[in-house]
Amino acid sequence: MSLTVAFLGLGAIGAPMAAHLGRAGHTLTVWNRTVQRATGSAAAAAGARVATSPADAVRGASIVITCLPESSDVAALLNADGQAMLQALEPGVLFVDCTSGDPDTSRRIAADLAARGVDFIDAPVSGGVVGAEAGTLTVMVGGTAAALDRARPALESFAGKIVHCGEVGAGHALKAVNNALLALHIWSTAEGLVVAMKAGVTPQVALDVINASSGRSNASMNLFPERVLTGAFPRTFRLALLDKDAGIAASIARGQKGASPALQLAADLMRIAHLELGDEADHVEAVKLVERWAGVELRQ
Amino acid sequence: MSLTVAFLGLGAIGAPMAAHLGRAGHTLTVWNRTVQRATGSAAAAAGARVATSPADAVRGASIVITCLPESSDVAALLNADGQAMLQALEPGVLFVDCTSGDPDTSRRIAADLAARGVDFIDAPVSGGVVGAEAGTLTVMVGGTAAALDRARPALESFAGKIVHCGEVGAGHALKAVNNALLALHIWSTAEGLVVAMKAGVTPQVALDVINASSGRSNASMNLFPERVLTGAFPRTFRLALLDKDAGIAASIARGQKGASPALQLAADLMRIAHLELGDEADHVEAVKLVERWAGVELRQ
Amino acid sequence: MSLTVAFLGLGAIGAPMAAHLGRAGHTLTVWNRTVQRATGSAAAAAGARVATSPADAVRGASIVITCLPESSDVAALLNADGQAMLQALEPGVLFVDCTSGDPDTSRRIAADLAARGVDFIDAPVSGGVVGAEAGTLTVMVGGTAAALDRARPALESFAGKIVHCGEVGAGHALKAVNNALLALHIWSTAEGLVVAMKAGVTPQVALDVINASSGRSNASMNLFPERVLTGAFPRTFRLALLDKDAGIAASIARGQKGASPALQLAADLMRIAHLELGDEADHVEAVKLVERWAGVELRQ
Amino acid sequence: MSLTVAFLGLGAIGAPMAAHLGRAGHTLTVWNRTVQRATGSAAAAAGARVATSPADAVRGASIVITCLPESSDVAALLNADGQAMLQALEPGVLFVDCTSGDPDTSRRIAADLAARGVDFIDAPVSGGVVGAEAGTLTVMVGGTAAALDRARPALESFAGKIVHCGEVGAGHALKAVNNALLALHIWSTAEGLVVAMKAGVTPQVALDVINASSGRSNASMNLFPERVLTGAFPRTFRLALLDKDAGIAASIARGQKGASPALQLAADLMRIAHLELGDEADHVEAVKLVERWAGVELRQ
């Protein structure tokens, strides 16, 4: 089934997602704040129309997909003076937010959209740039089953797995939780390897053992061997975004009035790492702050 | 090469290790504090001599292997009044401590043994009861390469992987670090699943997504699906021991004068969980304290 | 200047505050959820009218004062079905919220009231029951200077000190911060005294030294000598409320996107203590959880 | 009673302590690693002999007092090659260690000294440079009552208060606990003031209220008004030393196998602040790291 899709936000993840939508035969319009990223995008090369504004992008679309840094950016697009994107959305449109956002803001956006007859689902993705390019992203969806069903033909063009998580905001909550775990595992593995190294165990040996034992994680099995021990630290996912996600998870936990010492620690450590290492640092570079405080480097 | 081996400590892990040593053709003597566990052991059934005391156990042995709850137990066996195990060790013996112990105590033990001409290696194992029974344990060795080489024929009877980590204490340090990571991952995954659940995501859906994403760990991939969501919580490794191990890792980190907020948190949380849930609780039952504080249960 | 005042919430702090208002000559109406606390109050005894509902209470009042457990209770009073208190407020009324509330909810309430021409200030108090009875409370005010000036004649009847903190919400923020510090100082002092005690220093000696040294706080100088070492633990301020306040401070900190490990820890520890010790426990009883985990009691 | 006293370690605290001993009429020999601090000291000016080595210093002394950065420095002085201070101590001497040291090392030192017939007490002081110059220090003593009685005539020359805490190590433990509380209160007050400031409350107003309320501490009542809000940050007590003390308290707590999240946090935060701010920073400058992470300054 061919859809008329507007895609807003052609970042490292959004650009290949949009390209998949175009290749799947949907009628596609793209928009990006920096227009050059839109005109030079693979989607545009494959025939997508490049919109001149968010309001222009969504005209005539049956599905609007956003993939922006955070929920406040989505809210800003909808309500910005002169952009009038909210006003440009026609009743019956489906709004799919692939941003790694926060549930509270999404629920407010959903209410604003509902008042105009527009359905909303949050649909953050995991899988990174590699998954986006391969079209194998995992999509975590919050919203009604009916809305998800309407979105499926679009989502399937870039997804390997689509999971209905719950009501509006549930997708964002799960994405934030996943990323908070990632954050804490990166940090704790770094602390552990530093302790082992100072006790005389090389990082390679330590990882070799941990990865054959119970302390292993995605961080120890993939990130440390490929990125830390090699010193490569490729910039694939910004620490600033992991900081934001860990902060969302911690904030949800605080709002639920539970005890959440581990999630709170993850949020504070990512916040500090982001502040100390800067906006351009990759998320795995948080390890460098552990190293700085330890006075050693975890290299092979 | 057949060795004369004394094995002290026939707990859940030690008993199958001793049985493998007997099956491998070594001349074996076993001892256990509760003598019934020795007389009723698989090793005894296969022909091992049951010693009447630690001192009796080590007489004539070329290799002495200990597998006890903690390093202080090893020190107590060596120095206990009337046991005289230290005095019963002949120069040239190799002492292999498979306890999940602490480096400081092991270095003191090693020095005491060295004064009697006895070599020491620390050789804690990972792999759990399943690995012990299958003879596929990972052994983390601290000590000289020469001492490790002498121990290999014994270790190989129950090991799938033998790793030389460094000097005396390095094996203990790495084991403690691995288990501290395990502890923190169990706890953080529980916190994360609680947050997701309160946001409307069932634990199954949350684990399904996390295990396809970057936040996965051994805890999320194996322990939660098999033990938590099922409510099975089999008692395979006591929380009291994980508490001890996390405490060792935190203590090493503190002694190294590094910053180690994640390891310290792991130690305090395991300590609290152990205190609240009791000596018999399994390590995965730490999740129950997260659940108690959250007012929800992570069951399918 | 005599005012017509409605006072809603005659708890341990609110009841003596209302009594002071009556004694100061203001025309007073009181309301409490449990009506017996209103009819039996000192304010009623001194001539205050007892209202039958919140809407009844505020009729004709020029100043409405609330003193409730938390901001959501204030919002509920205003908006509850059938209570119609919001509708009963006439334009020009001044709404003074003495609840230890949270800034976000207060800003929403203030906006709702502003739409009806009603000014709002948040005015939480410190000083406890003793300060409330003595009429020497410290009042922390958020709102405009003009609104504060209108409230002064009422506030002065129970205040020893009135401080203009900033815009709406600033009073709540500062109250939450003060109480989070109180919470952390109670807990940290307990941890420290336990460590000293296990090192052989009696709590009296330890407090004697700390209170002559740099580690002293209101907790060590007043709460521990009077309430902990004596075992008295009088119930003057519920742990449930300190938990709420520490949670507000932590939540504000998280929302400001700062790093706040100490405030987050305070919130999680108070949350846990509240959960473990129950709704009726006094705030200083948090010490009992430290003692439980330590296996010692800090008594003289 | 006039004593023959050797005083080793003429730092910011030690120098005025030694001067008081000389003024009190004791026969005094002083030593300092940097000899110029000894020759130029007030004690030397008042007639104290300047020793050429630790061994030279203690010859003929009935009381030896050390005031060094940490316990390992005391151990090093005693055992250093060629210094032979341990050998120079005659049986019957009393060794008084005013270092802010750690109990474990002190117990080892005490055992070594006991083997030579030398008694040991730990006697760390609080009161800072001001208290040292005024001769009003609080001295926390660990050791036997008899040894303390022998030390009194010396201690009284610089003490305002002498407290017998318990066995050897008890003085160190209590000093470490006091300083860990100081550390945590400085940090938590900074976090709290930052939150209040971002909520619109100036640091002066916030401190004014907190210091009239339950969240006050020595930090809020003295350090912040005098040193932080003024921007003065005088260098009176190095952050490096507070880091060491908080680390000692955390290490004792860990060794006692209690749960000590607040003390562990204090230790990690001071460690990080020391690493980030350098060896020369004053302890109150830890506030600058909170400010750096918050992007605001707490100045009037």
The 10s digit of each residue's pLDDT in C284-295 is 999 999 999 999
Q: Find the CB nearest C247 among A257, A271, A272.
A: A257
Q: Is D250 left (phi over 0), alpha (psi -120 to 50) or beta?
A: alpha
Cβ of residue C59 closer than 8 Å to a chain B Cβ:
no
ipTM for this prediction: 0.95
Any bridge partners for residue D161, and if so which? D138
The pLDDT, as a whole number, for residue B90 is: 93
Instruction: Kindly list the residues from chain C whose CB atom is less than 8 angstroms away from the CB atom of residue A272.
Output: 259
Report the alpha-carbon distance of residue A82 to residue A61 in Å, rounded: 20
Size of chain C in residues: 300
Contacts of B181 in chain A (CB under 8 A): 188-189, 192, 210, 215-217, 220
Instruction: Please give the mean pLDDT across all residues of chain C.
Output: 96
Contact B253 A138 (CB under 8 A): no
Q: Do C195 and D260 touch (CB under 8 A)?
A: yes
Q: Which of C161, C175, C244, C257 is catalytic?
A: C175
- Which of A164, A174, A242, A245 should one mutate to test binding to chain B, selecting the residue with the greatest count of B CBs within 10 A? A174
Which residues in chain B have their CB less than 8 angstroms from residue C261's CB?
A: 261
Q: Does the annotation mark C198 as catalytic?
A: no
B195 CB within 8 Å of a chain C CB: no
Does the beta-carbon distance from A209 to B263 stay under 8 Å? no
DSSP characters over D227-253: IITTS----SSBHHHHHHHHHHHHHHH
Closest CA of chain A from D217, distance in Å: 25
Q: Which amino acid is at B101?
A: G
Q: Is A260 on the interface with C (CB under 8 A)?
A: yes
Verify whether the Cβ–Cβ distance C251 to A254 is below 8 Å: yes
What pLDDT is stored for residue D37 in this prediction? 96
Using alpha carbons, select from A11, C209, A170 the residue that is nearest to residue D177. Answer: C209
The second-level CATH assignment, the architecture, of C173-294 is Orthogonal Bundle (1.10)
Residue B208: is its pLDDT beyond 90?
yes
pLDDT at B169 > cutoff 90: yes
- B contacts of A178 (beta carbons < 8 Å): 192, 209-210, 213-215
The closest CB to that of C251, out of A255, A271, A275, belongs to A255
For the record, the structure tokens of D112 come out as 């070594």
B209: which chain A residues are within 8 Å (Cβ-Cβ)? 126, 138, 140, 161, 163, 165, 174, 178
Report the distance separating Cα A45 and Cα A48, nearest Å.
7
Any chain B CB within 8 A of the CB of C195?
Answer: no
Stretch C195-202: mean pLDDT: 98
D254 closest CB neighbour out of B254, B272, B275? B254
Task: Nearest chain A residue to C243 by CA: give it.
Answer: A257
- For every one of its 300 residues, what pLDDT tens digit does chain A have, with 9 covering 90 and above? 689 999 999 999 999 999 999 999 999 999 999 999 999 999 999 999 999 999 999 999 999 999 999 999 999 999 876 667 898 999 999 999 999 999 999 999 999 999 999 999 999 999 999 999 999 999 999 999 999 999 999 999 999 999 999 999 999 999 999 999 999 999 999 999 999 999 999 999 999 999 999 999 999 999 999 999 999 999 999 999 999 999 999 999 999 998 999 999 999 999 999 999 999 999 999 999 999 999 999 999
Quick one: average pLDDT of B149-178?
A: 97
Q: Residues for chain D: how many in total?
A: 300
Give residue B104's Cα distance to chain centre: 17
Note the pLDDT of residue D83. 60
Q: What is the mean pLDDT of chain B?
A: 96
Distance of CA B296 to the CA centre of its chain: 31
Q: What share of chain D is helix, strand, coil (3-state, %, to 5)?
A: 55, 15, 30
Would you state the pLDDT for residue C83? 60
Determine what percent of chain B is predicted with pLDDT higher than 70.
Answer: 99
Q: How confident is the model at residue C280 (pLDDT cuts 50, 70, 90)?
A: very high
Q: How confident is the model at residue D82 (pLDDT cuts 50, 70, 90)?
A: low
Residue B163 Ramachandran class (φ > 0 left, ψ -120 to 50 alpha, else beta): beta
Helices within chain C (DSSP H only):
14-23, 35-39, 42-45, 54-58, 71-79, 85-88, 103-114, 128-134, 145-155, 170-198, 203-210, 218, 239-255, 261-277, 286-294
Q: How far is C178 from chain B (nearest CA, A)?
A: 25
Nearest-CA distance B91 → chain C (Å): 39
Q: How confident is the model at residue B212 (pLDDT cuts 50, 70, 90)?
A: very high
Residue pair D260/C226 in contact (Cβ under 8 Å)? The answer is: no
Residues in chain A: 300
Is C179 in the D-facing interface, judged by CB distances under 8 Å?
Answer: yes
Closest-CA residue of chain D to A289: D272
Separation in Å, CA of B149 to nearest CA in chain A: 18
C271 inside 8 A of chain A by CB = yes
D296 vs A273, C58, C261, D197, CA distance in Å? 18, 42, 17, 8
Instruction: Give dist(CA D77, CA D83) in Å, integer.
Output: 7
Contact C138 D293 (CB under 8 A): no
CA distance A218 to A186: 9
C108/A contact by beta carbon, under 8 A: no
Q: Where in chain D is the domain with CATH 1.10.1040.10?
A: 173-294
> D83-108: per-residue pLDDT in tens?
678 989 999 999 999 999 999 999 99
Spatial CB neighbours of A149, under 8 Å, sequence gap ≥ 6: none
Phi first, then psi: what are they for A122, rounded to 5°?
Answer: -95, 140
CA distance B8 to chain A (A): 24
Residue-wise pLDDT for D103-150, tens only, equals 999 999 999 999 999 999 999 999 999 999 999 999 999 999 999 999
What's chain A look like in SS3?
CCCEEEEECCCCCHHHHHHHHHHCCCEEEEECCCHHHHHCCHHHHCCCEECCCHHHHHCCCCEEEECCCCHHHHHHHHHCCCCCHHHHCCCCCEEEECCCCCHHHHHHHHHHHHCCCCEEEECCEECHHHHHHHCCEEEEEECCHHHHHHHHHHHCCCEEEEEEEECCCHHHHHHHHHHHHHHHHHHHHHHHHHHHHHCCCCHHHHHHHHCCCCCCEHHHHHHHHHHHCCCCCCCCCEHHHHHHHHHHHHHHHHHCCCCCHHHHHHHHHHHHHHHHHCCCCEHHHHHHHHHHHHCCCCCC
D168 neighbourhood in chain C, CB within 8 Å: none
C288 alpha-carbon distance from chain centroid? 22
The helix/strand/coil state of B38 is helix
Q: Is D148 helix (H, G, I), strand (E, B) or coil?
A: helix
Beta-carbon contacts below 8 Å between A and B: 248
Among D161, D175, D244, D257, the one annotated catalytic: D175
CB contact under 8 A, C275 and B292: yes
Closest CA relative to residue B199, chosen from B296, B300, B299: B296
Range of weakest confidence among A186-200, D67-81, D203-217: D67-81
Give which of D104, D189, D217 to mutate to test C binding, by max C Cβ within 10 Å: D217
Work out the minimum CA distance from D19 to partner chain B, whole angstroms: 34
**What is the architecture, at CATH level 2, of domain D4-168?**
3-Layer(aba) Sandwich (3.40)
For residues D40 and D33, give the distance between their C-alpha atoms in angstroms, rounded to a whole number.
13
Chain A CA closest to residue B262 = A188
Contacts with B261 from chain C: Cβ below 8 Å: 261
Query: What is the mean pLDDT of the segment spanning D33-38?
Result: 95
CA-CA-CA-CA torsion sign (C235, C237, C239, C240): positive
SS3 B5: strand
In a mutational test of the A interface, the residue from D292, D293, D296 whose CB has the highest number of chain A CBs within 10 Å is: D293
Which part of chain C has CATH 3.40.50.720?
Answer: 4-168
Inter-chain touch C275–B293, beta carbons under 8 Å: yes
Give me the mean pLDDT over the B276-299 stretch: 98
pLDDT at B274 over 70: yes
The answer to whether B88 and B55 are in contact (CB under 8 A) is: yes
